[in-house]
Chains A and B, each alone.
Chain A
Amino acid sequence: MATPPETSDANLLEVRGLTKIFGTLKACDHIDLTIGKGEIHALLGENGAGKSTLVKMLFGTLEPNAGEILWNGQPVRISNPHIARKLGIGMVFQHFSLFDALSAAENIALSLDDKTPISTIAAKAKALSYSYGLPLDPHSLVGDLSVGERQRIEIIRCLLQAPELIILDEPTAVLTPQEADKLFETLERLRAEGKSILYISHRLEEVKRICDRATVLRHGKVVDHCDPRQETAASLARMMVGSEVQAVVRPPVEDANNQAALLEVRKLSRAPATPFSIPLRDISLDVRAGEIIGIAGVAGNGQGEFFEAVSGEVQQADAGSVRIRGKDAGRLSITGRRLLGAAFVPEERLGHGAAPRMTLSENMLLSRHATDRKAFLGVAGVVRKHAISTASQRVIEEMDVRKSAPDPEAASLSGGNLQKFIVGRELDRRPAVMVINQPTWGVDAGAAAHIRQALIELARSGSAVLVISQDLDELFEISDAIAVMHNGMLSRPIPIAEATLEKIGLLMGGAEPGHVEHSREPA
């Protein structure tokens, strides 16, 4: 059961009854939290549990509606980030608060409140970055850097302020397993220096590994304080979700070797479309009926460009570079590829997979106006509203989409519910080929399990499913083989039985496939 937070002089930060209300939603509801000196404290919770809202209040970007914050035993009001930094609170943001058009040193300068010249900042940042083993070129333009390098800037920027408390929001979400190990070393060193760390994550294994204590949030409330080392991943998950999470069931593929390849990619290359995008180099891949192939990789290694090329949002010059159900599709538009039986779900829900200010039934038409022309459109392209809302209702029931109005705007749904709708919209067609980018990014555990299970069922019913994801746990859960994308190149798919976290991680970090094959050999 919940152990009450102890109050002692050793506490660096103490939070009592902190509450934040958005409209009618209590994002944080009387949160209590204490962080001791030299402690790594985990903040656990699902997407939407209120973690980000809580840390934004601690860093001053949001003001609480009620409650108090004590810093070294003194009540403080943190009304903006300048005050937070002055107190000694530093933050590493999940989605980074960086500026692509500026250099690393300029980015760092922007969060330092004194007027130190940029050249001095650059020198200090460089020295500090090397001392922590996170080398950084202060003059490089952030827009040109990889995700891992960007995070280094965030961390160095934070450390340059010599903070007492460092807040890290989902820091490993964008890292390879090896990069994450490196980060953990840094965190342990900081703890040894007496710094406190508030570590936000939903990855239970790493919390168990590095955190001293944990506070678990659910629906905006603290449900438990615990010592993560005394818990199992399963018990932590139960605290977060509030009930047993349904395990995803993955039956074996029947007659795997005799299935036809429904999606074939042949030597697909693509020049970079914008100055900041990644070229695709010579990608080949088959996805057979009945199987799910996963594509792992650190964000920004060409996954978005690959999705555009495979879906037909961007067409290729070579018709044979993408084949769907045995037909050349490289020069077809996304509509043409859909008509061949393919379906696509992009990474971004709002503004890509769905038009935010349109209702769910209007969004139904977005990807299906051509494939369901007969059902959805009448003469002269008149939209049959009734047929569409019937179909939309069917998807809503099938996927258990929770909503507040009969036919709400897409933007008003939670991330998980909108994603269920978007995936369900495609599943409802029973597509022969499904390509999905980040299927459960930012989605709560219940919805994620539902979506993953639906993808497996689609594959086992005879479709070919290609899943692009940064979430390795997810890929290991649902894929029959995993390929890794790095710098616009794709590795050979590794059958799931042979895939290990270490092997995939090395490929994500850019190791030569041959080298990884060797590392598999027992030492």
Chain B
Amino acid sequence: MGMLEAILITIATAATPLLIAAIGELVVERSGVLNLGVEGMMVMGAVTGFGVALISGSPWLGFLAAILVGALFSLLFAFLTLTLVTNQVATGLALTLLGLGVSGMLGESFVGLPGVKLGSIYIPVLTDLPLVGKFLFGQDPIFYLSLLLTGSVGYFLFRTRAGLTLRSVGDNHASAHALGINVILIRYLAVMFGGACAGLAGGYLSIVYTPQWVENMTAGRGWIALALVVFASWRPWRVLAGAYLFGAVTIGQLHAQALGIGVPSQLLSSLPYLATVVVLVLISGNRRLTMVNTPASLGRPFVPDR
């Protein structure tokens, strides 16, 4: 395996959790809901994924648990914002704070334990291809799942009637309600899908990316995923591009640290965060682009009259 391919694979591993979480949030935002709790749901997924994998010995059960916990955790957010019509921004923050607190509590006994790893796939001949074999055919299964997820969400949103309905709810919930579309139900489902994705992304961090549990181990990735959705102007394939860009920045700075190029490591570590800010500035500065693409009902409360 060449150096370049090794780097490509680490980039993919860094990008995959961002991609999965951002795709989930994209669906949520397309339905008109802004869930800022991605970080909280992700860290909950990370701690339960790690714990269940450790106790059961099966990474797959870990992923399943991470998905379930992410979805359940998002249900809290959905109940508050959709049923009790609380402020979505504040409630999303609450979800993040709660997730960080609860995961710290749950994960205390896991600190320092080695995690259960998930193997990479191996297809004879294909995986052994020179240059690209391992990158294309020799990664972990969740990597392939993340690509499949991106494609299916793109297909669902823009090629199916259900996807059209979801987008219509995000564009104008009053019109959707007037046509008899169950706005609240669709939003509940979207939020839970987003929660499941964030949970899976968290599980990936603690099972594949760095197989261990460290408090606050998401380290802002949930927030970067939120920024990616804006960066991608709510389009799935652009999320993929953005996630790999961030994966590259993350891995690039790690390699630079390892090489010891004379720049403080803290500066290099802050690059993904600074890159997020720069990217947001570049995208948001184009007001026309953001105005046309932002789901018009995003973050607005909806109470049907009865």
Contacts and interface: CB of A to CB of B under 8 A. Distances in A.
B130 to A, nearest CB: 45
Contacts of A441: none
Contacts of A85: 180
Interface residues of A, number: 26
Interface in A104-122: 106, 109-111, 115, 118
A318 B77 CA distance: 50
Contacts of B165: 110
B164 A110 contact: yes
Interface in A90-104: 93, 96-102
B282 interface: no
B180 A115 contact: no
A54 B288 CA distance: 40
Given A97-B174, A109-B161, A81 B167 contact: no
Contact of B167 (A96, A101, A111): A101
Given A62-B305, A63-B306, A109-B164, A100 B180 contact: no
B175 A96 contact: yes
Contacts of A281: none
A97 B167 CA distance: 14
A68 B244 CA distance: 60
B172 A82 contact: no
A481 B288 CA distance: 38
Interface string B259-295: 0000000000000000000000000000110011001
B292 A275 contact: yes
Contact of B171 (A84, A96, A99): A99
Interface string A483-504: 0000000000000000000000
Contacts of B161: 109, 115
B298 to A, nearest CB: 11
Contacts of B174: 97
A205 to B, nearest CB: 29
Interface in B31-89: none
A93 B287 CA distance: 31
Contacts of B296: 100-101
Contact of A101 (B171, B177, B179, B181): B171
B178 A97 contact: yes
A97 B161 CA distance: 18
Interface string A378-405: 0000000000000000000000000000
Interface string B167-201: 11001101111111100000000000000000000
Nearest to A83: B180
B178 A61 contact: yes
A248 B180 CA distance: 42
Nearest to B160: A115
B179 A97 contact: yes
A80 interface: yes
B171 A102 contact: yes
Contacts of A63: 306
A279 interface: no
B172 A98 contact: yes
A111 B175 CA distance: 10
Where chain A touches its partner, the secondary structure class is: loop
Nearest to B169: A99
Contact of A81 (B178, B291, B292): B178
A80 B180 contact: yes
B175 A99 contact: yes
A220 B172 CA distance: 29
Contacts of A109: 161, 164
Contacts of A96: 175
Given A97-B174, A275-B291, A106 B164 contact: yes
A510 interface: no
Given A102-B167, A102-B168, A111 B179 contact: yes
B180 A82 contact: yes
Interface string B139-174: 000000000000000000000010011011001101
A81 B175 CA distance: 12
Given A109-B161, A110-B164, A110-B165, A98 B175 contact: yes
B183 to A, nearest CB: 12
Given A110-B179, A111-B179, A99 B291 contact: no
A274 interface: yes
A95 to B, nearest CB: 8
Contact of A274 (B172, B179, B291): B291
Contacts of A99: 167-168, 171-172, 175-176
A22 interface: yes
Nearest to B305: A62
Contacts of A118: 164
A81 B180 contact: yes
A148 interface: no
Given A96-B175, A101-B171, A275-B292, A22 B305 contact: yes
Interface in A153-185: none
Interface string A21-44: 010000000000000000000000
Nearest to B174: A97
A60 interface: yes
The 10 closest A-B CB pairs, nearest first, are A81-B180, A97-B175, A97-B178, A99-B171, A101-B171, A80-B180, A111-B179, A99-B168, A82-B180, A99-B172
22 contacts: A81-B178, A85-B180, A93-B178, A97-B172, A97-B174, A97-B179, A98-B175, A99-B167, A99-B168, A99-B171, A100-B172, A100-B296, A106-B168, A110-B165, A110-B168, A110-B179, A110-B181, A118-B164, A274-B287, A274-B291, A275-B291, A275-B292
Interface of B: 161, 164-165, 167-168, 171-172, 174-181, 287-288, 291-292, 295-296, 305-306
